Amino acid sequence: MDKIILNQYQSYYDISEKKGAVVDFLVGKINYISKTSANLEIYEEFSHLYEEKSNILQKKLQRIISNRINFTIIPTYLCNMNCEYCYEGDLKRIKKIMDIDYAEAIVKLLKEILKDERNKDIEFNILGGEPIMQRNMKFYDYLFKNIQNLSVSYKLNFITNGLEIKKYIKNLKKYGITTCQITLDGSVETHNKRRIPIDTTINSFERVCESIDCLLENNIYTYVRVNIDEQNINDLPELSEVVISKKWNNFKNFHIYLYPISFSGHNPNKIYLEECEILNKVLSIFKSMPQKNRLFGLDFHGISFIDALRGNETPPLKFVFCDACRNQYVFDALGYIYSCWWGAGRDEFKIGEKFGNEYVLDDNRINKWRNRNITTISNCIKCKFKYICGGGCSYKAILRKGDLFKGNCYSFDKIIESYLRYLNDYQ
């Protein structure tokens, strides 16, 4: 009988009858084990050496100060579609939109933030509602003209349903668009059933395909997101054929990925499959597809860590889960600033407010959010997955547990084991 000793930052995965794997989540390493007997004895031992290594890594991560400023702007909650799982829910009823006065206040705040140090990385994310509509163009014209007058470089990402991209591509290029995220949810029938335009004469699937063509032709990095759940998993083979037939996968600035749906603003009581269950169904379908058709990235927790190790790359390590606990400011048309765009419209996420022609930040609330990390969340402190998790989504921690300083945990072991088994059998 074989004996394997694991420390507090390692997990063993039984990936086949003849093969096992030990993944080290602190050092960042996979050791494959050839099994010499049917049974293994797994022992877990606390290692002070690994705890010392963890403390050193943690101090390094704490010293890293993000130079990136993330301004996420929601110019309107209005939308030209009615998607069945839209996370905004009742917010879509709000008719107010951002005007030039908002643009002036945003630029003024950016100047204040840049006053002491101008060599920061600036990133703008524009979303909605639907951000690419005629009613928002005047606001963008003024906003980005004035930002460009600051002579600072920035990245600009639009998150859009894609209905109006062709119509406004010249505007987007003038604003300096860097990347665009657009959603395609399966076959023509499935996509059009899930993502429904207000104008029922529009074929949503065809319009999105035209928009992807337009973005790629204009050399704009295009992320195509497939919001995956039980309804559209079986569409993956057909959707992969669409990508190949349109030759999108030949573009270096194209990436299509699967994102598991876990929440619906329209129906917050709806129960979705666990992430690991969705992944198992996805991988089962992958097994039936030709290798060249398995072109979807997998935005499931822990997958990017394993992919980095397999590619001999430095795995991404997290001290916090996302920009909500760093330098992120989310502006909406009601005049509030939030820490997180999922939390827009909720008081506990507010970190600032517009008064007159300027924004006033609430330093106490900002400090509270900036203090959420793997050292201040009690169930993260001794968790082996903390450096690839960062404490989990703060929005879901508040939604599910009512406490910002509770971790939102994921089934890392189940997800990673399923993925390693798939890689062993089909890669």
Specify the CATH number for the domain of residue 245.
3.20.20.70
Select from 46, 61, 76 the last residue of a domain.
Answer: 61
What letter would DSSP give residue 116? S
Mean of pLDDT over the chain: 92
In this predicted model, what pLDDT tens digit does every residue of 148-184 receive, in sequence order?
999 899 999 999 999 999 999 999 999 999 999 999 9
Query: Is 38 domain-assigned?
Result: yes
Q: How far apart are the first and last CA of the chain?
A: 29
Distance between CA 396 and CA 343 in Å, rounded? 9
Task: Report, in angstroms and rounded to the nearest whole number, the Rg of the chain calculated over CA atoms.
Answer: 23
Query: Is 290 domain-assigned?
Result: no
In this predicted model, what pLDDT tens digit does every residue of 86-124 receive, in sequence order?
877 777 788 899 999 999 999 999 999 988 766 678 999
* CA-wise closest residue to 265 among 374, 349, 159, 344: 344
Average pLDDT on 5-12 reads 95
Select from 272, 302, 332 the last residue of a domain.
Answer: 272
Distance between CA 169 and CA 207 in Å, rounded? 14
Least confidently predicted of 133-137, 266-270, 371-375, 388-392: 266-270
Average pLDDT on 9-33 reads 93
Query: Is 246 domain-assigned?
Result: yes
- Are the CB atoms for 277 and 264 separated by under 8 Å? no
| Same domain, yes or no: 75 and 145 | yes
Q: What is the extent of the structural domain holding 159?
A: 67-272
| Same domain, yes or no: 230 and 210 | yes
Select from 227, 255, 272 the last residue of a domain.
Answer: 272
Query: Is 156 domain-assigned?
Result: yes
Distance between CA 312 and CA 345 in Å, rounded? 42
Count structural domains, the chain: 2
Query: Is 352 domain-assigned?
Result: no
**Residue 265 pLDDT > 60:** no
* CA-wise closest residue to 37 among 20, 13, 22, 23: 20
**Can you say whether residue 176 is alpha, beta or left, with left for phi > 0 and alpha for psi between -120 and 50 degrees?**
left
Residue 48, C-beta contacts closer than 8 angstroms, at least 6 positions apart:
none
| Same domain, yes or no: 79 and 226 | yes
Query: Is 370 domain-assigned?
Result: no
Question: What is the reported pLDDT for 269?
Answer: 66
